[in-house]
Amino acid sequence: MVGIDQVLTKLATVIDPDLKKDIVSMGMIKDLELNDGNLKFTLELTTPACPFNDQIEQDVRRAINELDGIKISDIKVTAKVMEGRSLDADEAMSSVKNIIGVASGKGGVGKSTVSLNLALALAQSGAKVGLLDADIYGPSIPLMLGMQKAFMEVDNNKLQPVEMNGIQVVSFGFFAEQEHQAAIYRGPIISGILKQFLVDTNWSNLDYLVVDLPPGTGDIPLTLAQTIPITGILVVTTPQDVASNVATKAIGMFNKLNVPIIGVIENMSYFICPKCSDKHYVFGEGGAKRISEKFNIPFIGEIPLNSGIMEGSDKGKPVILSHPSSPSAEAIRMSAKNVAAQCSILAAKLKEEMQGATA
Ligand code: ADP
């Protein structure tokens, strides 16, 4: 008669393709019950947005089916996002498991567009998500969400994020007195505002906080990297950007500061012909892949150049919500899954380092 130990041994043959570890030692099997050959358990994945979730579940079922006399009566599949940042060192933001900074070498590459659609895609997968528009000089998230008139309440000296489309949003744009008003502040004030937005906000149990940084390597990206532990940085490039090496400066800065790079994503990569649906790499192909190889950082994905993305942003209707089955939305969802997977990998590494430090 097969017992629980044999079931666990068999389940341990299933390897998480991202974490490269078996699912039993990763603690993904919970509440296992075996009664007269009927097996029941919970499979707890590391993120609801993992690109391999279906594959892991299939591998689990296949492994159990190989055991004689065991029948699966119930597998509950859930996800609990891992902590990709040291919460002990950062009590002020202990309700935020992962912080993803979105950076670019220069402006206009679609960093805000990517940040917003990424946040929405992660939320659609079932994660709890916040979006901090840290582009204090030119906050564009309120316009992109069609919420220019929104304002943040203050509760017990804490900012209350604005809830919109299932994400919690904070933006300096909610404070600007007039639309299109430019913020003119010096570095230390800007850094202070960012710190307040991060720490003095009532973020409610976030799996991921996406931080849309201003372009370049100025005060705000530096403040984010030095104020609080973050999971890592997602670098947005365009094909032209690759040619001018501008993205590599941002990567260089975060490398110097020992901030992990989650990966590189190329926006406006290709154009999909409306007649033949072929992809045309108008500005050259494979730039982000080359950057990822050169710096040994993950390649996250390519987003097409699409007028629907631009119109959606201008009208407060992000493409992932307005055209969810378009190739652009599909590309963003795939990239969001890859970002979530990289966060899990960084979280597993952090856990190992912390266990190593206390051993
Ligand atoms: P950044 O934050 O890097 O300055 P934005 O996200 O504000 O860039 O994007 C700049 C402009 O490019 C906006 O008008 C936006 O709608 C447009 N845009 C961004 N990504 C795409 C895309 N993939 N296809 C078409 N237009 C895009």
Instruction: Calculate ∠ Cα 56-354-125, nearest 5°.
Output: 35
Residue 202 — very low, low, confident or very high, per pLDDT cuts 50/70/90?
A: very high
User: pLDDT grade, residue 242 (50/70/90)?
Assistant: low
Give, for 294, the enclosing helix (H) or strand (E). helix 287-295
Percent of the chain with pLDDT over 90: 67
Centre of ligand 1 to C-alpha 301, Å, is 16
Rounded distance from Cα 281 to ligand 1 centre (Å): 17
pLDDT at 212 over 80: yes
pLDDT of res. 163:
94
The rounded distance, in Å, linking the Cα atoms of 147 and 139 is 12
Tens-place pLDDT, residues 256-275: 999 999 999 999 999 988 88
C-alpha–C-alpha distance, residues 159 and 161, integer Å: 6
Pairwise CA distance, residues 340 & 348, whole Å: 12
Q: What is the pLDDT of residue 349?
A: 94
For residue 104, report the distance from its CA to the centre of ligand 1, in Å: 12
Average pLDDT on 203-212 reads: 96
Mutate to test the pocket of ligand 1, among 102, 106, 113, 117 (most ligand atoms within 8 A of CB): 113
Confidence of residue 282 (pLDDT cuts 50, 70, 90): confident
Testing ligand 1's pocket by substitution, the residue of 283, 310, 319, 322 carrying the most ligand atoms inside 8 A of its CB is 310
pLDDT of residue 88: 74
Q: Which residues line ligand 1 (CB under 6 A)?
A: 104, 107-113, 140, 215, 267-268, 303, 305-306, 309-310, 313
The answer to whether residue 52 scores a pLDDT higher than 60 is yes
Residue 157: both structure tokens together:
């000296």
Is pLDDT larger for residue 282 or for residue 257? Answer: 257
pLDDT digits (tens, 9 = 90+) for 130-167: 999 998 888 899 999 998 878 888 888 899 999 999 99
Residue 237: is its pLDDT beyond 80?
A: yes
Taking the CA of residue 267 as reference, the ligand 1 atom at the shortest distance is 23
DSSP string covering 37-92: TEEEEEEEES-TT-TTHHHHHHHHHHHHHTSTT-EEEEEEEEE-----S-STT-GG
Q: Looking at residue 183, what is its pLDDT?
A: 57
* Confidence at 87, pLDDT banded by 50, 70, 90: confident
Residue predicted with more confidence, 312 or 24: 24
> 244 or 205, which is more confident?
205
Span from the CA of 109 to the centroid of ligand 1 (angstroms) = 6
> 238 C-alpha to center of ligand 1: Å?
10
* Ligand 1, atom nearest to 268 Cα: 23
Please tell me what DSSP assigns to residue 17: T
Atom 19 of ligand 1: nearest residue by CA position: 110
Average pLDDT score over residue span 124-130: 97
310 C-alpha to center of ligand 1: Å? 6
Please check the confidence at residue 189 and state whether its pLDDT lies above 70: yes
Distance CA 85, CA 338 (A): 18
The alpha carbon of 277 and the centre of ligand 1 are apart by a number of angstroms equal to: 22
CB contact set of 101 (below 8 Å; sequence gap of 6+): 211, 213, 221, 224, 225, 230, 232, 233, 234, 259
Helices (H), 200-286: 219-227, 239-243, 246-256
Distance CA 63, CA 52 (A): 16
Kindly state the average pLDDT of the residues 103-119.
Answer: 94
Does the pLDDT of residue 356 top 90, yes or no?
no
- Minimal-distance CA residue to ligand 1 atom 8: 110
Confidence band (pLDDT; 50, 70, 90) for 92? confident
Least confident of 52-66, 90-104, 109-123: 90-104
What's the pLDDT at 181?
52
- What atom of ligand 1 comes closest to residue 115's alpha carbon? 6
Read off the DSSP letter of residue 201.
Answer: B
> What's the whole-number mean pLDDT along residues 2-12?
93
Instruction: Measure the CA dihedral 23/27/29/33, to 10°.
Output: 140
Residue 102 neighbours by CB under 8 Å, 6+ apart = 111, 114, 115, 118, 210, 211, 212, 213, 233, 234, 236
- CA of 257 from ligand 1 middle (Å) equals 28
Hey, whose CA ends up nearest to atom 13 of ligand 1?
310
Q: Which residues pair with 78 in a beta bridge?
A: 44
Largest Cα–Cα separation, the chain: 74
pLDDT digits 0-9 by tens, 305-339: 998 899 888 899 999 999 999 999 999 999 999 99
Residue 240 CA to ligand 1 center (angstroms) comes to 14
Ligand 1 atom nearest the C-alpha of 311 is 16
